[in-house]
Structure 1
Amino acid sequence: MAKRDAYFDNMKFLLIALVVIGHLIEPLSGQEAFRPLYLLIYSFHIPLFVLISGFFCKKITSADYRIKVIGSLVVPYLIFESLYSLFDYFVMGAERLRFSYFTPYWLMWFIFSMIIWKMLLPYAVKIRWALPISFGIAIWAGYAADAEHYASISRTIVFFPFFLAGYYLDKADIDKLRTPLTKWAAAAVLGAGALVMINYGSVIRPEWFYGSLPYRALDHPEWTAGIYRIGAYAAAALIGGAVMIVMTGRTIPLVSALGRNTLYAYLLHGFVVKGMIAAGFYETYGEAAWTWLLIPAGVLLTAGLSSEFVRTRFGWLLEPKLNRLFKRQTPDGGAEAGR
């Protein structure tokens, strides 16, 4: 077994913690105290998570590549999309029970899009200039009025360039950039990004970072609206790049190990967040000064859901054993006859 790279485990834990914190403070994101942090998180955390995911998809020619997509993503997606639909009806009080596998429920969009990205990747990399073309398509797609939530089509298109960039990324290139000088520069970029969100957060719409709506829905029907998406891409590249540079490659006790189980934290934390909403937490305590404790609480929740304790108890849901479902793969990509 290849030795794990602590750099990526640390990065994955940071990013999943930001996902959890972002969802915990989202109902409060309109408040002056939380809006800058919320905007800063959403300006880069999803693009960077997508890029890291693409980095680990280099074995696209392996015989079992598509089978792994089914086992690690398709099956968990079907299971949790169903569970969240049930949760939405019985806990959140939805008017009717509705299973909609082609309109992903809330955070399930990421898993749905990941399936598409992974299945598309082997074909996309055969195209010349695939990366700039994917950025061009993503900018152009914002002019389509119907590119929204169905089949997660808008986000799939908008964030695919980061997935593709991750595939092309070489870890050696990252290491070359992580010098003492560039780390100071990256820290300055992060500080500048925070200042921008603090001073101008009231006029920045977070929807530009979601990638889920066409320009017209964001009140920009003009033909130059694509400039705003380019701006969102620039913010993601600058701030996300700065985070990649300052991230340590050393093993961090507990943190590095927890970064191996980020899928558990991603799929399970939604029940906690939605449960808090259903219980009226934000309506009751939304104005309380101590709500800033949601930030460290998000870190603790992430750590708990990423633990081996949780993995051993929910592994049958998130990592189902499907060996008997598929025929044994041969080295040339074929399959042996079933017995």
Structure 2
Amino acid sequence: MFHAPNVFQRAPLPSATRESEPRRQGTTTATAAPPAPVANKPPAGAQAKQRDAYFDNVKYLAIVLVAVAHAWEPVMDGSRTARALYMVAYTFHMPAFVIISGYFSRSFDLSAAKVKRLVTGAAVPYVVFETAYSLFKRYADGSPNQPISLLDPWYLTWFLAALFIWRLTTPLWQVLRHPLPVALVIAVLASFSPSIGDDLDLQRVLQFLPFFVLGLQLKPEHFQLIRRGEVRMLALPLFAAALVFAYWAAPRMQLGWFYRNNSAQEMGAPWWSGAVMTTAMFGCALLLTIGFLSWVPRRPMWFTVLGAGTICGYLLHGFLIKGAGYAGVFDSYDWLSAPAGLVLVSLVAAAAVTLMCTPPVRRVLRVVTEPEMNWAFRRDAAGR
């Protein structure tokens, strides 16, 4: 969703192998072929501009699931089926985003150039949209006391704060011998530590941390395994079983376990349930994420180009959902909780977030989502 390669940006293809580089001239070579004319060489940076359609497809489809699930929240209370679908979507759509974020953070280090891209790609959009959402609530919802606090992310801006923190810790996870078990232990400890508080939504940062660390450990061959035919076939009964279980659990299970923004005690559960649920939710999310990724098309599709603009879709669709709520749309039309209404809400949310991911919107918002900000950094920062 930045200058730094992360979940929102289009993913570059792997770089050319060393075999594709020109051989060095040997000292015993009698004659050497003349170099090819400069005009026949591919343009500089052409390789970097190539994108992997698969990951762009993943990002677009995931952001559609996020927007649709957010649209279901105000209208699903009267429908057990809608609540079950919501629970299944929430089990894996944000974990999928976080895993892809980790995967494209593998090369992050604390070099000046990458820190600069992290600041302009995560910190700046966070400050801008946290302020914008706070002002939006203040005036659109008639909440004059709504504060503007950069320490308390509101609604969906938490992900930008989390991404900033996760990226900064990447070098640590890259040197640990067993990073994923360590991250899981941290997530479990956070799940029964109510004293963590709300600053920067650290509960979510810590409880989603294992997915980011898992992404750091993945390699291209892992995604090749996920996309095998037998995995796709196994994904079908997996999702069917998940829907059946979610339908049973819908009236019995708190949604806070999916949001991961509170400790077990804050949800009125015993402390030990935090450890059980965190581990179980990690396993369920991982299985459903694999199933989701296995069915994402590998080839370029009509929506592939939209994968580059998911930062815009993610940050803008919240204004639509919250604005409709403030305007009383969901309360005024009870039929939206009926099956036909849920379908309509889903289609509107999917169409809206699709438009928000288009290149024109991305160009307009680039000043805040992908700013250059060369004025703010030393001139030698990129080369240090």
Is the Cα contact below 8 Å between 2:192 and 2:271 reproduced in 1? Answer: no
Instruction: Determine the structure 2 residue equivalent to 1:337.
Output: none
Distance 1:125 1:94 in 2: 44
Among 365, 371, 374, the alignment partner of 1:314 is 365
Distance 2:341 2:93 in 1: 22
Distance 1:222 1:102 in 2: 26
In structure 1, the gaps of 5 or more residues are 335-339
Is the Cα contact below 8 Å between 2:188 and 2:274 reproduced in 1? Answer: no
Does residue 262 (structure 1) correspond to residue 310 (structure 2)? The answer is yes
1:95-142 Cα offsets, whole Å, 9 max, x none, are 414111000111111111111111111223222212110101101111
Does residue 326 (structure 1) correspond to residue 377 (structure 2)? The answer is yes
Q: Any idea what SS the aligned residue of 1:128 has?
A: coil
C-alpha displacement of 1:224:
4.6
Distance 2:318 2:102 in 1: 24
- TM-score (norm: length of structure 2): 0.83
C-alpha displacement of 1:286:
3.5
Among 29, 42, 65, the alignment partner of 1:18 is 65
1:294-322 Cα offsets, whole Å, 9 max, x none, are 11111101110000121122222222221
- TM-score (norm: length of structure 1): 0.93
Distance 1:35 1:223 in 2: 26
Letter of the structure 2 residue corresponding to residue 135 of structure 1? L
Does residue 46 (structure 1) correspond to residue 94 (structure 2)? The answer is yes
Q: Which moved more, 1:171-180 or 1:264-273?
A: 171-180
Q: Which moved more, 1:223-232 or 1:180-189?
A: 223-232
Letter of the structure 1 residue corresponding to residue 363 of structure 2? T
C-alpha displacement of 1:59:
2.1
Q: Which moved more, 1:272-281 or 1:58-67?
A: 58-67
Is the Cα contact below 8 Å between 2:84 and 2:246 reproduced in 1? Answer: yes
Distance 2:244 2:197 in 1: 31
Going from structure 1 to structure 2, the CA distance change for 1:236 and 1:300 (only over 3 Å counts) comes to same
Letter of the structure 2 residue corresponding to residue 188 of structure 1? P
Instruction: Determine the structure 2 residue equivalent to 1:280.
Output: 328
Letter of the structure 2 residue corresponding to residue 147 of structure 1? I
Does residue 127 (structure 1) correspond to residue 176 (structure 2)? The answer is yes
Q: Which moved more, 1:180-189 or 1:311-320?
A: 311-320
Does residue 138 (structure 1) correspond to residue 187 (structure 2)? The answer is yes
Q: Any idea what SS the aligned residue of 1:223 has?
A: helix
C-alpha displacement of 1:330:
6.3
Instruction: Determine the structure 1 residue equivalent to 2:108.
Output: 60
Letter of the structure 2 residue corresponding to residue 275 of structure 1? G
What is the correspondence of 1:121-270 to structure 2 with a 5 Å cutoff? 121-253=170-302, 255-270=303-318
Instruction: Determine the structure 2 residue equivalent to 1:87.
Output: 136
C-alpha displacement of 1:245:
1.5
Q: Which moved more, 1:185-194 or 1:55-64?
A: 55-64
Q: Which moved more, 1:139-148 or 1:208-217?
A: 139-148
Distance 2:103 2:209 in 1: 12
Distance 1:111 1:90 in 2: 24
Going from structure 1 to structure 2, the CA distance change for 1:280 and 1:325 (only over 3 Å counts) comes to same
Instruction: Determine the structure 1 residue equivalent to 2:6.
Output: none
Distance 1:240 1:227 in 2: 20
Instruction: Determine the structure 2 residue equivalent to 1:294.
Output: 345
Q: Any idea what SS the aligned residue of 1:125 has?
A: helix
C-alpha displacement of 1:150:
2.1
Q: Any idea what SS the aligned residue of 1:202 has?
A: coil
Instruction: Determine the structure 1 residue equivalent to 2:23.
Output: none
Q: Give runs of ≥4 in structure 1 deviating > 4 Å.
A: none
Q: Which moved more, 1:85-94 or 1:186-195?
A: 186-195
Going from structure 1 to structure 2, the CA distance change for 1:124 and 1:179 (only over 3 Å counts) comes to closer
C-alpha displacement of 1:148:
4.3
Q: Which moved more, 1:221-230 or 1:135-144?
A: 221-230
Is the Cα contact below 8 Å between 2:166 and 2:209 reproduced in 1? Answer: yes
Distance 1:149 1:42 in 2: 21
Over the aligned positions, Cα root-mean-square deviation in angstroms equals 1.7
Is the Cα contact below 8 Å between 2:264 and 2:273 reproduced in 1? Answer: no
Is the Cα contact below 8 Å between 1:42 and 1:206 reproduced in 2? Answer: no
Letter of the structure 1 residue corresponding to residue 306 of structure 2? L
Going from structure 1 to structure 2, the CA distance change for 1:330 and 1:287 (only over 3 Å counts) comes to closer
C-alpha displacement of 1:251:
0.9
C-alpha displacement of 1:204:
2.1
Is the Cα contact below 8 Å between 1:81 and 1:99 reproduced in 2? Answer: yes
1:182-209 Cα offsets, whole Å, 9 max, x none, are 2101122112112211233221222101
Letter of the structure 2 residue corresponding to residue 27 of structure 1? P
Structure of higher CA gyration radius: 2
Letter of the structure 1 residue corresponding to residue 189 of structure 2? W
